[in-house]
Amino acid sequence: GQNIDQPTEMTATEGAIVQINCTYQTSGFNGLFWYQQHAGEAPTFLSYNVLDGLEEKGRFSSFLSRSKGYSYLLLKELQMKDSASYLCAVSGNKLVFGAGTILRVKS
Amino acid sequence: DAGVTQSPTHLIKTRGQHVTLRCSPISGHKSVSWYQQVLGQGPQFIFQYYEKEERGRGNFPDRFSARQFPNYSSELNVNALLLGDSALYLCASSNRDRVSGANVLTFGAGSRLTVL
């Protein structure tokens, strides 16, 4: 089976940097995804990691360590519009989502 | 290009009724997945279809069924509705991302089902 853990909520200040962690246990691994979901909207794709290391995409970066079953999403230069739920999802024989981390950005 | 479209956007049913939710994938996408998202939780996998064949099923009772049509659109059916079926039902179609090579799900806006 698969088990994914991420913090329930985080709060950060506009302009700051925040790191959202995700730990997982899976019987098969084909990659790890991060999705962003604003309240009342559909999840949208942010990043994908299949090899160990850091993937950078603008203000967002994602890191993966397969041996540790660990990933994080790093958001830089936080903006108010970054307030959303961030979903970690692991791809095995199906894509399994964590419960999501609600990020609140305050001014 | 149109994204993933779902209908209806909102609906209210009573216990014991059945519901059919519809999904049209992005043009060219042959794979459709269905997810259930309860408030405060992440999406839970229900079904995946590819080329009209079921490729995966999540841990949901037999009251849940789905099918994919020759044009790759899909329907999710839920019979004998329970209060606990109240949720946002998300459809996603997938294609290989050109940059990462990943099979990325693109979600529709969802159908919000309320069971009274």
Work out the number of other CB atoms within 10 angstroms of the CB of residue A9.
10
Residue B81 above 70 pLDDT? yes
Nearest to A100 among B42, B109, B110 (CB): B42
Q: Per DSSP, what are the bridge partners of residue A20?
A: A73
B6-61 pLDDT per residue, tens:
999 999 999 999 999 999 999 989 999 999 999 989 999 999 999 899 999 999 99
Task: State the pLDDT confidence band at B97, using cuts at 50, 70 and 90.
Answer: confident
**A3 and B CB contact within 8 Å:** no
Nearest residue of B to residue A43 by CA position?
B107
Mutant choice from A41, A97, A101, A102 vs B, greatest count of B C-beta within 10 A: A97
- Say yes or no for a CB contact (<8 Å) between A100 and B56: no
| Cα dihedral value B19, B20, B25, B28, nearest 10 | 150
**B97 and A CB contact within 8 Å:** yes
Residue A2 above 80 pLDDT? no
CA distances from B68 to A7, A16, A17, B27, B73 (A): 36, 45, 43, 14, 6
Task: State the pLDDT confidence band at A1, using cuts at 50, 70 and 90.
Answer: low
Residue B1 confidence (pLDDT): 63
- Say yes or no for a CB contact (<8 Å) between A45 and B109: no
A34-43 pLDDT per residue, tens:
999 999 899 9
Residue B100 confidence (pLDDT): 73
Residue B99 confidence (pLDDT): 76
**A51 and B CB contact within 8 Å:** no
- Say yes or no for a CB contact (<8 Å) between A45 and B105: yes
Kindly report the average pLDDT of chain A as a whole number: 95
CA distance B107 to B10: 16
**A87 and B CB contact within 8 Å:** yes
Residue B83 above 80 pLDDT? yes
Q: Give the helix, strand, coil percentages of chain B, each rounded to 5.
A: 5, 55, 45
Are B110 and B22 a contacting pair, CB within 8 Å?
A: no
Which residues in chain A are contacts of B106 at CB distance < 8 A?
Answer: 45
Which residues in chain A are contacts of B35 at CB distance < 8 A?
Answer: 97
Residue A26 confidence (pLDDT): 86
Token representation of residue A91: 């791809």
What number is the average pLDDT over the span B74-102? 91
- Say yes or no for a CB contact (<8 Å) between B43 and A97: yes
Work out the number of other CB atoms within 10 angstroms of the CB of residue B15.
11
What number is the average pLDDT over the span A2-23? 96
- Say yes or no for a CB contact (<8 Å) between A42 and B109: yes
